[in-house]
Amino acid sequence: MEKDVRIVMVGAGNLGTCLAKALYKERFNIVQVYSRTPESARCLAMQVGASYTHSLSELTSEADLYITALKDDALLQLIPHLTRGREEALWVHTAGSVPMSVWDGYAGRYGVFYPMQTFSKAREPDFDQIPVFLEADSEESLALLHEMAGTLSRKVYHANSEQRQSLHLAAVFTCNFANHTYALAERLLAKYRLPFDVMLPLIDETAQKVHTILPGDAQTGPAIRGDEGVMAKHRRMLADEPRMLEIYEMMSKNIQNMKK
Amino acid sequence: MEKDVRIVMVGAGNLGTCLAKALYKERFNIVQVYSRTPESARCLAMQVGASYTHSLSELTSEADLYITALKDDALLQLIPHLTRGREEALWVHTAGSVPMSVWDGYAGRYGVFYPMQTFSKAREPDFDQIPVFLEADSEESLALLHEMAGTLSRKVYHANSEQRQSLHLAAVFTCNFANHTYALAERLLAKYRLPFDVMLPLIDETAQKVHTILPGDAQTGPAIRGDEGVMAKHRRMLADEPRMLEIYEMMSKNIQNMKK
């Protein structure tokens, strides 16, 4: 594809940073980075050879593609201000949970570019393996997005807004909530002065296992075994951690309900 | 170590099966497999070149090392029957949550051999990477267990009963509960006719990430961002899944509480 398409990254949070860097690596032409936070805009711009601004009035209108990577609320608020005077460009957002129709009436060509992954600025993920879900207003816009996505990832799909929302919700469970179970373990181990590292082989195997066995069949542990003796002990150990205990009870109960 | 030490595997569930097969692979001498379920005993015995029985009266007394891999309740019930007439052997259990002291008064030499991993019969884990936590009644027993563990794994630790119990509880969170979040996603995706496979890169990255960033710092998603718009949408999508909604609320709330 023509990599001289002029791209503006609107947002310099975790997703915006990782996506802009991945595009830059593939020699795409990022002309400007916008972020409300000047430091974030500057920091990302430095890394991708772009200019930067924290002021909407300085947002260039000389770009072909604007990619927004903002919190959902901010996106909805900003759309009218962003697009005004820049209606000729292609506008895409990167949010799993926002329908494509938010662009309707504000941009002539638009779409969604949703890379389903957990992004942190401190970590460069292997974009090659990240599923990217696309949606667009027209075949032409879709083709352009598909070509761009295809240079970054080997897993490019088309998904409508409803599918994307369910993917995003499923991702909250498999990623955000799974990570929270790790965080709870971290807290527990710290209490007993044990390093979190010892958990890594187990975490890895738990993730690897569902490559070959569906999670419903891969479930192990005291709840699914109905091992009441162990569970009683765990409850006692969590007696001074009411929130963890609450999660323990709910997850265990739900594992048992799902088995039935 | 002398691999002709005669081993009996008491229990042929997921852990017993994986451990016996790993020992057999390292050319240890498994002489007998016991399981209450005749078919399980036979099936494992076939794979490790051992005799088998489902009757305690036929449990050999001619072994040097008995390894139990039973549910906690069953272990506590069986100990007196297992050890009677076999007090000279070394007895070890494999349970994270059972103190070593359960052997006290029943066996002369005893200990714990706790491989912290999720085991399924259908999947052979890489034992080399599995942390094994040991405890024993004496330096001599510990040395023997350490030598055996060292041939299977590169990660052998000593841990007392209290440490082991906290490891086990932490493992329930990082493994059993993390897998349950995968199972909930599986269920959700099925509803929208999306294949579970699309989640795998995200699951892998979520696990990989905590190798370099502690989970407390690796947290992403709408809850930690305080993205109320997204969360409201998710709640609506889960309106007909009251149990998933309950988990969604509790995990989100707890992620936010932990941030503070």
Of A163, A186, A211, the CB nearest to B216: A186
Could you report how far apart the first and last alpha carbons of chain B are, in Å?
A: 52
Mean pLDDT across A91-108: 96
Query: Alpha carbon of A170 to those of A100, B67, B192, B235: distances in Å?
Result: 19, 40, 11, 13
Structure-token match 């998933």, residue found = B244
| Chain B touched by A229 (CB under 8 Å) | yes
Once rounded to an integer, what is the mean pLDDT over residues A33-44?
97
Chain B 36-95, CB below 8 Å of chain A: which residues? 71-73, 76
The whole-model pTM stands at 0.86
**Strand B6-10, strand B29-34: pairing:** parallel
Rounded CA gap, B12 and B171, in Å? Answer: 21
Predicted confidence (pLDDT) at residue A1 exceeds the cutoff of 80: no
pLDDT of B4 reads: 85
Average pLDDT over residues A248-258: 96
d(CA B204, CA A125): 11
Whole-number mean pLDDT of chain A? 95
Q: Where are the alpha helices (DSSP H) in B89-193?
A: 139-152, 161-171, 178-191
Complex ipTM above 0.95?
A: no
pLDDT tens digits along B157-194: 999 999 999 999 999 999 999 999 999 999 999 998 89
Distance CA A163, CA B210 (A): 29
**What tens digit of pLDDT does each residue of A202-238 get?**
999 999 999 999 999 999 999 998 989 899 999 999 9
CB interface of A with B, residues 99-138, below 8 Å:
116-120, 122-123, 125, 129-131
| Mutate: best of B127, B181, B233, partner A, most A CBs <10 A | B181
Tallying the residues shown for chain B, one arrives at 260
